[in-house]
Structure 1
């Protein structure tokens, strides 16, 4: 081991801070001799509210044992543990994204307050992963993220059944589609068979892959089946590695270079990952004070990055198949000609070094660049008069029948009103559904159920007949219809979406990458002069703090001083 350096967690023997810590730790059975060792936070979001987190205590135990064996002292700390399918019940889902920044601040309080030397973060459901990445970038102490795995899915009537299927069919049942309530109940009983995150390529698995592509997770650790031998082996390796990272003073901002962000963007594009990865990566860049424009990277690199793996929901391959083919490491091997392979990683080596001996397990699952699943970008950033700061669409990997859609707007200020209109058959083919008031400020925290509207449209058989615009975000499992999300600036702060009226002509053009409101400029100016900000929702407690301090999407919707 490298000769020790002075650690920030060490205080002069007998001083006030040394003495009171020693008293606390003596009571916990920690020997006095440990006071000079690297002190590592094991960031655990264990919770009994959702399967996503129910196994993390087992992972934490393995990581702590490995840290001790490597000569460090582990301290397990806890954070908020939001799960979209459970925590999304209250405040129209506002606690989901709102908890991301709470996780970051939970970590800051524990790690900075105690002046710990490093972190191993146990990544699980959608918002804990970016929350932990943001904390790593903000605090800039040696950090490794450990993907803690996806859940095993089940079967229903002889077909694959997972949480995505339950979500989709429950919305179909809500709008009188082909699925009955009894079917949904039966599906819910068999969709999840183990702990772990959603098994599709939703936000959680996308962000686990992002951790590795950024260089902040060990190569080959994403994706991984929860509770598998490999998951525990990766966790053990992370516990061993973090101690040397502390002695080497290898910090996140050494790793989070512009090239690392470009690599992560390429990885997301090449698998058609979750749209939510865009704002989460931007939030990491903002917290790390990197100056990287992630939205600009998606705009620039999207047309240059083919889709190499078609995973559910955009393709047919299961996440298990992707892992067996080599996962993120194999994906990056195929992408290597497009990557910054000089980027540093938590191994202390470059991407090129890490990929040198990698072989792709199945080139039908993870294809080479010259034979992609689709040459078209899987995520498209649009701009235009309705979205001067950008908007996102996930058009899928197949050839779309319609790539330019023009039609009259029909506007809703809540997802409930939009779903009811679909149920009442008040929405006609050719219309553009505008669902607003669901942005980072207006939701608040992008709560508002935009995904419910998308699945209701699909359940009503309107997926190819209408378009939809929203300033809200979509579940990472959403890949249906011509749906433009995260339109910015949002309506609650006076963005152009707030000025749209029923009957206005709206155009969405994928090839030109524009989304426009075709209304006379003088009329728009008159509407803007008459516009009044809506009354804030859920204006108390944590959501009030969030709404009052959240920044714009193009900065990652992080909390800022206003």
Structure 2
């Protein structure tokens, strides 16, 4: 490679000079056994790894990283693996969402501050995918995503069971008295049979599909099971491809265009994806500089849900992969005029060129457009005097008879209040009521935990009722289900109207027309809020938690920190030792 080409490599500003600084940068790296000629003209590729034994979804990433390294070396690059904060939803308290922005900060500064020319993001558990994409987007280097893949199907009593979804369903059955404690506990070992993320269309699988539909991963990446050898092949090929991307200067901003985000929104509708994608896509778009709002989710309205996976449908991610995976979904969207076909992807091709010939091997798992699981999927955006800046609902996981509902509010002031009162047999509630929970939003919980899918009262469950309308400023797991209104903005902690709802107020949900209305006059609502503001208590916790509360944006803005929005690029001042 000529010296002109060598100068184009970002890493050359560290390793390419014959002065004191070049001496020290090379010398310290050589203590790992790197030969001198590797510093001549080879791209240095960072492998950003969220491996952690405390993040069980990502606990197999050491093996995946080795396959990525093999691909990088084969293509003539130098792999350098580095860790970033691994925020796994399964163990981290109070919620991994609280540290999504921390992981994004870690990723951004690690990429910008180190001598790398391109980066491979190893992601899996829910928040690691958006966090690393957010951090990488703020740097805008050539970037490719490799997800860890879903775990194998859970097996319980001879039937397939979905991770996460099994918990919600079995627990409700236990509270209703339909299963014993022993049977509930026996199901525990049945759910997680292998390495990998949740095997339902939960948030992890959804974000893997978002990464692929955005064009940031190689075709087929989203659905390959974690323990399938083809996951390793894809990791190897991704390692090879990132080296080529560096030479082509195919940066993330050339892939993450507005057209790509609209493709992702429509894909989310087609797969019956998690409501969490609303927040994460907004945050990623904000980092790369693409104007994306809650109203843009209307692009998913009218898109049929064709992926028949739990929690909306029947199957799990294994069957989704065997049926052809996300390329089939994208092909069917393209055939229906619902795909921006020219959107560029990381393999250098337009997304339509990647998927136009993708075969489907099971039309019950990935339904034809004329036989969908849900006629009009997508995320339903709700607005009204209860949610002036919006709220969301997932139609494919909701009960059709509750999509237009008017009922009496039963209010829980916090999640602790909900837990303390929900099982009380004297709680004044029936199946026609609307359960309302406050102070579980970005600042309120804090971190906007996945508690919005409140379990129903045992007294209602014992009547055979499976669903009620539930409203909160919280999130819910993508593995959950029900007629659940989420992400109410502004949140109660910020004195949004949700804060003023009282027991007995009448609430109307009209999902078909996108309306969430509290039947209280504007004057009464304002008076209630003024009284609450007068009694406001300022919480001082210190540390990251206090910074989070002070700087986090609302749900409709992506819950990023206000000072992190935007692309700051990869330039960094040279350091003189």
What band does the TM-score fall into relative to the shorter chain? over 0.9
In the TM superposition, 1:171-186 aligns within 5 A as 171-172=171-172, 175=175, 177-186=177-186
Query: Partners of 1:146 and 1:306 in 2: how far apart?
Result: 28
- The answer on 1:67 being equivalent to 2:66 is no
What is the match of residue 282 of structure 1? 282
- The answer on 1:26 being equivalent to 2:30 is yes
Aligned 8 A contact 1:214 1:261 in 2 = yes
Worse overlay, 199-208 or 157-166: 157-166
- The answer on 1:49 being equivalent to 2:54 is yes
What is the match of residue 345 of structure 1? 345
In the TM superposition, 1:160-559 aligns within 5 A as 160-169=160-169, 171-172=171-172, 175=175, 177-293=177-293, 295-298=294-297, 300-336=298-334, 337-396=337-396, 400-425=400-425, 426=427, 427-447=429-449, 449-453=451-455, 466-480=468-482, 482-532=483-533, 535=537, 539-559=541-561
Structure 1 residue 444 displacement after superposition: 1.0
What is the match of residue 86 of structure 1? 91
CA spacing shift, 1:379–1:478, aligned 2, 3 Å: same
Unaligned runs of 5+ in 1: none
Structure 1 residue 47 displacement after superposition: 0.9
Structure 1 residue 66 displacement after superposition: 1.2
Aligned 8 A contact 2:154 2:163 in 1 = no
Aligned 8 A contact 2:402 2:469 in 1 = no
Structure 1 residue 170 displacement after superposition: 6.0
- The secondary structure found in structure 2 opposite 1:103 is helix
Query: Partners of 1:207 and 1:184 in 2: how far apart?
Result: 29
Structure 1 residue 554 displacement after superposition: 2.0
CA spacing shift, 1:465–1:71, aligned 2, 3 Å: closer
Query: Partners of 1:8 and 1:454 in 2: how far apart?
Result: 56
- The secondary structure found in structure 2 opposite 1:84 is coil
- The answer on 1:13 being equivalent to 2:11 is no
Unaligned runs of 5+ in 2: 565-577
Query: Partners of 2:459 and 2:264 in 1: how far apart?
Result: 32
Structure 1 residue 365 displacement after superposition: 2.2
- The secondary structure found in structure 1 opposite 2:517 is strand
Query: Partners of 2:460 and 2:208 in 1: how far apart?
Result: 28
Worse overlay, 419-428 or 189-198: 419-428
Query: Partners of 2:450 and 2:318 in 1: how far apart?
Result: 32
Aligned 8 A contact 2:47 2:82 in 1 = yes
Query: Partners of 1:284 and 1:456 in 2: how far apart?
Result: 40
Worse overlay, 345-354 or 175-184: 175-184
CA spacing shift, 1:455–1:369, aligned 2, 3 Å: farther
- The answer on 1:158 being equivalent to 2:163 is no
Structure 1 residue 539 displacement after superposition: 2.3
After superposition, the C-alpha distances for 1:263-304 in whole angstroms (9 at most, x for unaligned) are 0111000111100011100000001111222x2221x22322
Worse overlay, 175-184 or 504-513: 175-184
**Count of matched residue positions in the alignment of Structure 1 and Structure 2:** 554
Worse overlay, 505-514 or 439-448: 439-448
Query: Partners of 2:189 and 2:371 in 1: how far apart?
Result: 40
CA spacing shift, 1:32–1:162, aligned 2, 3 Å: same
Alignment TM-score, normalising by the size of structure 2: 0.91
After superposition, the C-alpha distances for 1:16-54 in whole angstroms (9 at most, x for unaligned) are 432221121111111222223211110111111242011
Query: Partners of 2:244 and 2:251 in 1: how far apart?
Result: 12
- The secondary structure found in structure 1 opposite 2:292 is coil
Structure 1 residue 511 displacement after superposition: 1.3
Structure 1 residue 429 displacement after superposition: 2.5
- The secondary structure found in structure 1 opposite 2:45 is strand
Query: Partners of 1:210 and 1:375 in 2: how far apart?
Result: 21
After superposition, the C-alpha distances for 1:409-432 in whole angstroms (9 at most, x for unaligned) are 121122232233221131323211
Query: Partners of 2:181 and 2:540 in 1: how far apart?
Result: 31
Query: Partners of 1:414 and 1:524 in 2: how far apart?
Result: 20
Query: Partners of 1:248 and 1:387 in 2: how far apart?
Result: 46
After superposition, the C-alpha distances for 1:316-369 in whole angstroms (9 at most, x for unaligned) are 122111111111111100000211101111011111221233222223322333
Structure 1 residue 105 displacement after superposition: 1.2
CA spacing shift, 1:71–1:536, aligned 2, 3 Å: farther
Worse overlay, 48-57 or 327-336: 48-57
Query: Partners of 2:125 and 2:51 in 1: how far apart?
Result: 11
